[in-house]
Amino acid sequence: MCEFLRNNGHIKKILKTIDQICADTCRFIQCEICHEQGIFFDPDSMLGLFEEYRDLRNLPQSLM
């Protein structure tokens, strides 16, 4: 039983770390690539050219 609890706690830490990495990656993509003010935003990309993506390009910082 102790081995199970020890391993189960370790797995929970790993899953929490993976969740945090995914959240950080998504935040980076939204803030730095999709947003017009982002460092890696490409105004000549589909995201930059088409009006249908305007809301995604201008997503308020409070939602990111």
pLDDT in tens, 2-47: 666 566 677 778 888 999 999 999 999 999 999 999 999 999 999 8
CA dist 8 and 26 (Å) reads: 27
pLDDT at residue 2, rounded to an integer: 63
Contact (Cβ atoms closer than 8 angstroms) between residue 28 and residue 35: no
d(CA 64, CA 37): 13
Domain ranges of the chain: 2-63
